Amino acid sequence: MMGLLGQVRRVAQAKASVLIEGESGSGKEIIARALHHYSSRRTKPWVDVSCAALPEHLVESELLGYERGAFSGALNSKPGLFELAHEGTLLLDEIGEFPLNLQAKLLRVLDGSTYFRLGGTRKLSVDVRIVAATNRSLKSLVQQKLFREDLYYRLSQVCLRVPPLRERPDDIKPLAEHFLAEIRPGMSISGEAIRRLERHLWPGNIRELRNVITSASLAAEEFRIEANHIDLDLEEMAQTPVETSIRTHAAGTLGTMEREAVLATLRRTQGDRQQTAEALGISLRTLNRRLSEYGQVRSRRVSA
């Protein structure tokens, strides 16, 4: 992570667009904010949007804005996210979910072309640093014709990879203590509890760690978290850091590892998809699509 942050400081000074890749909950948004913080645009606007959370019929109006009367319900003019981020940074989170039919229009704006608000007659031009984040392989999506190749190359002038928490066990103790200080200041955590955390594979990454620390802080009767307060799935724990590394390597490809992480979390929530999505830090729509790819029956609760 220190190496990554050093790279972030160097990249922040450039004007190039940046693509941040990493699993859900691994800290991609923190890296994106660091890029903005270390750049010359730090005093200018920071705007972020989750492409997965935007309904497809609202994507264009949210990004480009609209004029009064542009469509039914447009009672007032509204600037788009590109305008709001003018001279600053715009984070396009979960860019892999961006609708294919609108990617050409996004590419034109990113290339500096002028554009109109919906229903507008005045051309607009913006100066925005683009940072995109994804938990999916955009190269794979390009090969599947689900993402435009030219847009991929426009977004990935610089690529940064955020390693999952299982690859950085040394981060677990300081992160756990940081979250605990935020949640219940003055509370401590025992060494045995930390060791238990370090043996976990963390399919939900940092988001899952924060949830576990929150739950443990409420379960502890004294002002100290012990190992028995840490609620983890034993099937996802290794005996040693070495074994964790071996198991991670043995899991095979990233797609296989992701599938096992999703299904393990689904088991732990007893098939509750909403809870599973929250634990993994992804949208319910994304989870449903992944489960469909894995051949799971679409229902609220699934026996896994």
**What percentage of residues in the chain have a pLDDT greater than 90?**
57
What type of residue sits at position 279?
A
What type of residue sits at position 104?
A
pTM for this predicted structure = 0.73
pLDDT-derived band at 222 (thresholds 50, 70, 90) equals confident
78 against 303, higher pLDDT: 78
pLDDT-derived band at 256 (thresholds 50, 70, 90) equals low
The pLDDT tens digits for 70-102 are 787 778 889 999 999 999 999 999 999 999 999
pLDDT-derived band at 296 (thresholds 50, 70, 90) equals low
Angle at the Cα of 111 (from 110 to 116), degrees rounded to 5? 70
What domains, with CATH codes, occur in the chain?
Answer: 2-163 (3.40.50.300), 167-293 (1.10.8.60)
